[in-house]
Amino acid sequence: MRYHRSDIVERAIGVLDMYGLPDLSMRRIAGELGLQPSALYHHFDNKQTLLAAVADELLARGTRPDRPDQPWDERVVALSNELRDAMLSYRDGAELVATVHAFGLGAHAPVERLTAAIRSAGFDEEFAGSAAITIVYFVFGHVSDEQTHVQANSVGAIDDAPLAARGSESFALGLALILDGVRLRMPVQRPTASSSSSTMKS
């Protein structure tokens, strides 16, 4: 049977969800497909590019329609929750996406979409990009903590209520604190020539 790139990514996602990121190896994926590991290299140069493809697919599956008509901060909240939910949907999702992003191999969409939302408030590209990356790092860290807590609880390493039970509340609060800081840097809206003229006449 001839497998396509999408088939390999699909099987890799299954391995990730079943065994976790440490066991997401080329050998295990090939074994799941009944192939020799060398066959995977016809589609992927190395394991890192495969992981990037898997991360991008996880994010794509969790993508929801953007709402450019919404206020910028509501768009940021929606995009941040979308990213959180996408990573929480799969075992070690946060670790995978954060690793791929750190290596510069993929997972660029969240930063790009958040940057566009923040730019719509009148911020310049540099500030919007920095704010977007800050938010993405917060999401990565929060979800990683949630998933680590849940996994430790599931194997009996800790005896505590899963963090996910209160994760949404703490996530919303943390994101709100970041957005409060961004609002403090809101660009000053200078009056236009027409509005200044109208003010003088009145």
The pLDDT tens digits of the residues spanning 39-92 come to 999 899 999 999 999 999 999 999 998 888 999 999 999 999 999 999 999 999
- Split at pLDDT 50, 70, 90, the class of 196 is very low
- Given a contact cutoff of 8 angstroms between Cβ atoms, the answer to whether 58 and 90 are in contact is yes
- Split at pLDDT 50, 70, 90, the class of 190 is low
Average pLDDT estimate for 18-37: 92
Q: What is the structure's pLDDT at 80?
A: 97
CB-based burial label for 16 (10 Å; 0-12, 13-18, 19+): buried
User: What residue ranges do the domains of the chain occupy?
Assistant: 5-57, 58-183
Q: How would CATH label the architecture of 5-57? A: Orthogonal Bundle (1.10)
- Given a contact cutoff of 8 angstroms between Cβ atoms, the answer to whether 61 and 86 are in contact is yes
Tokens for 49? 């590019």
Distance of CA 182 to the CA centre of its chain: 19
Q: How would CATH label the architecture of 58-183? A: Orthogonal Bundle (1.10)
Backbone angles phi, psi at 24, to 5 degrees: -85, 75
* pLDDT tens per residue, range 110-152: 999 999 999 999 999 999 999 999 999 999 999 999 888 777 6
- Given a contact cutoff of 8 angstroms between Cβ atoms, the answer to whether 98 and 60 are in contact is no
Average pLDDT estimate for 32-37: 90
How far apart (Å, rounded) are the C-alpha atoms in residues 49 and 43? Answer: 10
Average pLDDT estimate for 3-30: 92
Q: What is the structure's pLDDT at 98?
A: 96
Residue with the larger pLDDT of the pair 136 and 161: 136
